[in-house]
Amino acid sequence: MESSKKEISEKIGANIRTIRLSKGLTIERLAAEASMEYTQLSRIELGQINTSIFQVYKIAKALNVNICDLFHNT
């Protein structure tokens, strides 16, 4: 069964949040490291928006993880 855009966005957002929390980062700190507004990052984590791959790349760099880690289990 194929996942919908919303389901994939929610899974990636959950992965970002899990990794962020495991590293002890606040959403504000990660947003600053990724050069984005924390409200935008919040919407990404909640799967409310379908963001660009460049934004996902910036988040991965700020988390110091491989971008593939954010797509785990999608």
Q: Write the CATH number of the domain with boundaries 5-71.
A: 1.10.260.40
For the entire predicted model, the pTM comes to 0.93
pLDDT of 24 > 90? The answer is yes
Determine the pLDDT at residue 26: 98
pLDDT of 74 > 80? The answer is no
What is the tens place of the pLDDT at every residue in 27-44? 999 999 999 999 999 999
Place of tokens 């600053």: 32
Work out the mean pLDDT of the chain and round it to a whole number. 95
In the chain, where are the structural domains located?
5-71
CA dist 6 and 34 (Å) reads 23
Q: Decide if 28 contacts 72 (C-beta within 8 A).
A: no
